[in-house]
Amino acid sequence: MRSSWSCPAAVLRSRAVTVSCLYVLAAAAAAPMATAQALPAPAVVTGITSPKEQFGFAIGDDYQLATYEQLTAYWRRLDEQSDRMALVDIGKTAEGRSQWMAIITSPDNHRKLDRLKAIARRLALAEDVTTDAEARALAAEGRAVVWIDGGLHANETLGAQQLIETVYQLVSRDDEETRRILDNVVVLAVHANPDGHDLVANWYLRERDPLKRSLDDLPRLYQKYAGHDNNRDSYMSALAETANMNRVLYREWFPQIMYNHHQTGPAGTVMFAPPFRDPFNYVYDPLIPTSLDLVGAAMHTRFAAEGKPGVTMRRGANYSTWWNGGLRTTVYFHNMIGLLTETIGHPTPMEIPFRPERQLPSNDLPFPIEPQVWHMRQSVEYSLTANRAVLDLAARYREQFLFNIWRMGRNSIERGQRDTWTMYPRRLEKVQQAQAAGEPAGGPRLAPGAAPKSLFTRVLRDPALRDPRGYILRADQPDFPTAIVFANALIRAGVTVHRATQPFTVEGRQYPAGSLVVKAAQAFRPHVLDMFEPQDHPDDFRFPGGPPIPPYDSAGWTLAFQMGVQFDRVLEGFDGPFERVADEIDIPPGRVTGPATATAFVFSHTSNQAFRAVNRLLAAGERVERLGDGRFRVVVGRQTRARLDDVARVTGVSFEGVTGAAGGAGRVLRPMRVGLWDRYGGSMPSGWLRLVLEQFEFAYEVVYPPQLDAGGLASRFDVIVLPDGAIPEPGALWAPRQPRPEIVPAEYRERIGSFSANTTLPQIRAFLEQGGTVLAIGSSTSIGGHLGLPIGDKLVDAAGNPLKTEQYYVPGSILRVRVDTTQPVALGLRADTDVYFDNSPVFTLPADAAARGITPVAWFDSPAPLRSGWAWGQRHLEGGVAIAQAKVGRGSLVLFGPEITFRAQPHGTFRFLFNGIHLANAER
């Protein structure tokens, strides 16, 4: 997934292990293209324009890339020329382009496409199809639906280029296999990132001299907000493109197989293809891993049969099926077979390096490849082989794939209707501990390795550990609008949500009308469990006592925890006055109440939307105050009442009219001028922050290192936000590589630069001393050290050396912290708050911290703060400070160790940021 072409970017976050850089050989440019396997010329349909006729070059020709604009024109033409293809606009992108999907199948199938779509839907949802016989009849009538995408990671240029060639071949070839595929399969060819495709292709092609063309030094993110993290959004659907694709996947077409193309292959190979390494996730159906083996075997077999070496699998790379949230991985939680390939390739010829360890054949790499010069067209041919292997298998076994997605859906519904237990590593540990303690005493003699069956019953079938039959989100919780945002993420991912039409009672608890209900008895139950329940990542080490094997992405992500949503788990079957929610839920409008003589309106600060209301009112010129208890008060002016009606309707915030000085003294808020750090090329954490600020209507200005260095910051900003990655460790020798200004278009030159202790630090210090607020997140909390604050590192051994990963290792997980909610930056937070933590900084404060103006805001008050994920050696966290605030001159510095805005997901900690932005107001 990580591209090799922008290796320095990989250093920013070590979340996903990167493959080593491959070497682009400009020198190899003159070398003739290696001849690919000679295949007999296939039968073709006449009247179809080839890519070469359309673009003037063949797909995969050296130094060439077709842009998205060109792809669009070409697909429109094919759509006119071919009765096998229908072009569908699946929605607008972040930059306003149409996102295209080509539906390709036989003309006969096109004539009954609605029927085929309905069959795919009914089998996947498994609601009104309850018997094997009905499912088999529908499977016989239906067609396999296979998703093939390209271009998600735009600098992995192969993905979009192979998609053009794939579509062309499917509409133009007339061999027996192609016709069989078209007769039996509906192919959804989806472009996953149109904006990035145009950006990257035009960047490469801007050089007229092909030998000078390069994908390096792209000036900005190739998805407006998320860049590479556009593949980290699939359960959240915060990005336009994800929402478009999730609608196709989970609400419209329900493909049984989806194939997500990436680049690059592990060094010394051409491609990684499924199956994947352990661990897999415990909540999904066993048919998922077995089907991955089946489809993966078809891919590898075809490569071997076609004489295409160099394709690895399983432990040949770091990809697993543990994590939910990627385009390819979220499908597992929807009973779909998700394929990922990572393939080498570059429009500039390159070389497969000699890696000795990739020469010995094994089950992970049965057919090694010799080091050699490599051309893009060869990678296109490999992609076509992989696509055809999948499509051929889907065509041959279409009834089984259709039946099996129904079987998985039905299994989910049935599991949701009876007592079930999901097995987790910590439960196995409990069994082992009980057994080691000699329990039960005096039982019958056991065979070696066996445990008493009574332990199975008592520990693993403990009724308290049953999977819930459903979840209830109370309508009267303090931040119900955020619960609605959460429910909408579920709905966008195809989950069925119900809403109570009247008050009701479940397990003795009373709930108001409007409460939301998510039942486990639905086809996408694995996704439901995954969004509400903790992930329990196994302890995964290279060898006993050795270093941990990093998870591919997060180890734990429970969205309900990240968003701070209050919910009840219901362990018994239940029902009530529930109606099925048809589409995304609007926030219920707030109320404006109080006497006509009200002189002010008070509103609560416990919902994130309260800040959107504040921002709207301030932007309209209203006088807004913050009260001592954290609530807000808007003073009545000439148009206030009408504005409040409008704001209440949009934000769900309720306003209570008061007269006199009700609520006590308040501080007047003014709109804050926010400067958000970013860098040349675009920082993903900064990009996600832009999205969060826009969602809640904070005005902001992006600020690049040269502008920080120029100084005068206090005259331009009240707040500077330093996201993860902005500030290196004090004394760090490494500095991010910067492009040469002369190769950069003038509009981007002002962005080149990076933090320097000599030039940037004095300006930030001056900004603070003059009363500014600096909010530093994640690794950028090292600004505290640069400023000489007496803040220590909690995660060191007795000798002061950083703990080794064998002792302490917490990859992306959710931890619980204790919060001092009387601090201005923590107003409205819960005393126990869940934070997203990724080997994040944890601080110690000196005994005289308070006297030196340093205050802990949040800290670990338990030896076991893990809520979801993996926290090896978590006892080391106890007593450590997660969030601290320091006075620097007249200003305030807040150090947020945890990722409080991670990928725009942890709405439960956004208020730290929002309060932080208003700190200058609070302390004036």
Q: Which amino acid is at 526?
A: P
- Report the site for Zn ion in 264-283 (rule: CB under 5 A): none
Asked whether the beta carbons of 901 and 777 are under 8 A apart, the reply is yes
Q: What residues contact 432, with CB distance under 8 A and at least 6 apart?
A: none
Quote the least distance from Cβ 228 to Zn ion, whole Å.
Answer: 7
Complex with Zn ion: residue 9 or 866, whichever CB lies closer? 9
CB neighbours of residue 717 within 10 Å: 24
Which span sits near Zn ion by CB under 5 A: 193-201, 260-268, 383-391, 486-494?
A: 260-268
Q: How far is CA 759 from CA 71, 589, 709, 724, in A?
A: 46, 49, 6, 20
Q: Are 230 and 197 in contact (CB under 8 A)?
A: no
User: Strand pairing partners for 624?
Assistant: 634, 669
Pattern 781-820, binding to Zn ion, x per CB under 5 A?
A: ----------------------------------------
- Output phi, psi for 217, to 5 deg: 65, 35
Separation CA 543–CA 809 (nearest Å):
15
The smaller minimum CB distance to Zn ion, of residues 13 and 262, is found at 262
- Rounded to a whole number of angstroms, the minimum distance from the CB of residue 263 to Zn ion is 6
Amino acid at 692: V
Q: How many CA atoms lie within 13 A of 780 on its CB side?
A: 29
Which stretch, 87-95, 261-269, 358-366, 733-741, contacts Zn ion (CB under 5 A)?
Answer: 261-269
Specify the residue, 6 or 256, whose C-beta has the smaller distance to Zn ion: 6
Taking Cα atoms as reference points, which of 484, 494, 651, 507 lies closest to residue 560? 484
Dihedral pair phi/psi, residue 838, rounded to 5°? -135, 85
**Considering CB under 5 A, how many residues would be counted as binding Zn ion?**
4
Based on the shown chain and the rule CB under 5 A, indicate whether residue 1 belongs to the binding site for Zn ion. Answer: yes
Closer residue to Zn ion in complex, CB, 153/631: 153
Q: Give the Cα separation of 758 and 701 in Å (integer).
A: 24
Task: Draw the binding track, 150-179, toward Zn ion (x: CB under 5 A; -: no contact).
Answer: ---x--x-----------------------
Composition of the chain by helix, strand, coil, percent to 5: 35, 20, 45
Tally the residues of the chain: 924
- Cα distance between residue 342 and residue 231, in whole Å: 14
Buried/exposed 793-818: b ≥16 CB within 10 Å, e otherwise: ebbeeeeeeeeebeebbbbbbbbbbb
Instruction: Name 412's Cβ contacts closer than 8 Å, sequence gap at least 6.
Output: 126, 285, 335, 521, 522, 523, 524, 525, 526
Strand 719-722 vs strand 773-777: parallel, antiparallel, or unpaired? parallel
3-state secondary structure of 792: strand
Per-residue string for binding with Zn ion, 711-750, x by CB under 5 A?
Answer: ----------------------------------------
Residues between 518 and 547 that touch Zn ion (CB under 5 A): none
Residue 277 C-beta: closest distance to Zn ion, Å: 17
Cβ distance to Zn ion smaller for residue 317 or 866: 317
Burial (CB < 10 A; 0-12, 13-18, 19+), residue 736, is middle
User: Exposed e or buried b for every residue in 597-624, given b needs 16+ CB within 10 A?
Assistant: ebebbbbbbbbbbbbbbbbbbbeeebbb
Minimum CB distance to Zn ion, residue 156 (Å): 5
**Site stretch for Zn ion (CB under 5 A), options 146-154, 240-248, 359-367, 473-481:** 146-154
Coil, helix or strand at residue 88: strand
Nearer to Zn ion, 1 or 708 (CB): 1
Minimum distance from CB of 21 to Zn ion (Å)?
A: 15
Nearest approach, Cβ of residue 376 and Zn ion (Å) = 16
Supply the minimum distance, in Å, between the C-beta of residue 150 and Zn ion. 11
> Are 854 and 845 a contacting pair, CB within 8 Å?
yes
The pattern of x and - marking residues 218 through 257 that bind Zn ion according to CB under 5 A reads ----------------------------------------
Choose one: 149-157, 300-308, 430-438, 838-846; the region binding Zn ion (CB under 5 A): 149-157
In the complex with Zn ion, the residue whose CB is nearer, 99 or 885, is: 99
Residue 231 or 868: the one with the smaller Cβ distance to Zn ion is: 231
In the complex, the smallest distance separating the C-beta of residue 317 from Zn ion, rounded to whole angstroms, is: 12
* The one segment of 59-67, 240-248, 258-266, 576-584 that binds Zn ion by CB under 5 A: 258-266
CB 776 within 8 A of CB 825: no
Of 162 and 404, the one with the shorter C-beta distance to Zn ion is 162
* Window contacting Zn ion (CB under 5 A); options: 145-153, 589-597, 632-640, 665-673: 145-153
Decide whether 16 or 775 has the Cβ nearer to Zn ion: 16
Would you say 17 or 635 has its CB closer to Zn ion? 17
Measured from the CB of residue 700, what is the shortest distance to Zn ion in angstroms? 29
Most distant CA atoms of the chain, gap in Å: 89
Pick from 171, 129, 47, 209: which is nearest to 414 by CA? Answer: 129
430 burial level (CB within 10 Å; 0-12, 13-18, 19+): middle
Q: Minimum distance between the CB of residue 160 and Zn ion, rounded to whole angstroms?
A: 12
Q: Helix (H, G, I), strand (E, B), or coil: what is residue 853?
A: coil
Cα gap 519→523, rounded to integer Å: 10
Whole-number minimum distance, CB 14 to Zn ion, in Å?
16
Shortest CB 262 distance to Zn ion, Å: 3
Residue with tokens 């209440």: 648
For Zn ion, the closer of residues 156 and 536 by Cβ is 156
Structure tokens, 608: 């994130």
For Zn ion, give the closer residue by CB, 79 or 156: 156
Minimum Å gap between C-beta 339 and Zn ion is: 13
Residue among 5 and 225 whose Cβ is closer to Zn ion: 5
User: Is residue 9 at the binding interface for Zn ion, with CB under 5 A as the rule?
Assistant: no
For residue 305, give every residue at least 6 positions away whose Cβ sits within 8 Å of its Cβ, in sequence order, or none. none
Tell me how far, at minimum, the Cβ of 162 lies from Zn ion, in Å. Answer: 13
Smallest separation (angstroms) from Zn ion to the CB of 155: 9
- Cβ closer to Zn ion: 1 or 200? 1
Q: Say if residue 681 is exposed, middle or buried (CB neighbours under 10 Å; 0-12, 13-18, 19+).
A: buried
CB of 159 to Zn ion, least distance (A): 8
Residue 143 touches Zn ion, criterion: CB under 5 A: no
Helix (H, G, I), strand (E, B), or coil: what is residue 218? coil
Which of 262, 469, 605, 867 touches Zn ion by CB under 5 A? 262
Residue 148: DSSP 8-state: E
Closer CB to Zn ion, 156 or 217, in the complex = 156
End-to-end CA distance of the chain: 47
Q: How far is the CB of 1 from Zn ion (least distance, A)?
A: 3
Report, in Å, the least distance between residue 559 CB and Zn ion: 23
User: What is the pattern of x (binds Zn ion, CB under 5 A) and - over residues 68-87?
Assistant: --------------------
Binding site for Zn ion (CB under 5 A): 1, 153, 156, 262
